[in-house]
């Protein structure tokens, strides 16, 4: 459970850094995401989730 909380905190920190460093770029990225087709967003979400699970698995196996 502590790992989950730490991972959420890390995600928030990285997102905050990106918004602070590149506010215009993040605004454009959010605009593009909001206007993307749902099917495309779904595919990107599934791929991102699978990559995230893969990274976690690799870290747990070899870390």
Give the model's pLDDT for residue 43. Answer: 97
Where are the domains positioned within the chain? 2-62
Q: How far is CA 59 from CA 17, 48, 56, 62, in A?
A: 24, 16, 5, 5
Give the model's pLDDT for residue 3. Answer: 86
CB 26 within 8 A of CB 19: yes
Structure tokens at 48: 């991102």
pLDDT tens, per residue, the chain with 63 residues: 888 899 999 999 999 999 999 999 999 999 999 999 999 999 999 999 999 999 999 999 997
Give the model's pLDDT for residue 14. Answer: 97
- Where do the H-state alpha helices sit in the chain? 2-21, 23-34, 38-62
């Amino acid at each position: 459970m502590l790992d989950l909380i730490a991972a959420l905190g890390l995600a928030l920190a990285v997102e905050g850094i990106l918004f602070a460093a590149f506010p215009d770029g993040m605004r454009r990225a959010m605009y593009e995401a909001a206007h993307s087709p749902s099917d495309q967003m779904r595919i990107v979400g599934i791929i991102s989730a699978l990559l995230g699970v893969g990274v976690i698995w690799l870290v747990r196996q070899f870390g």
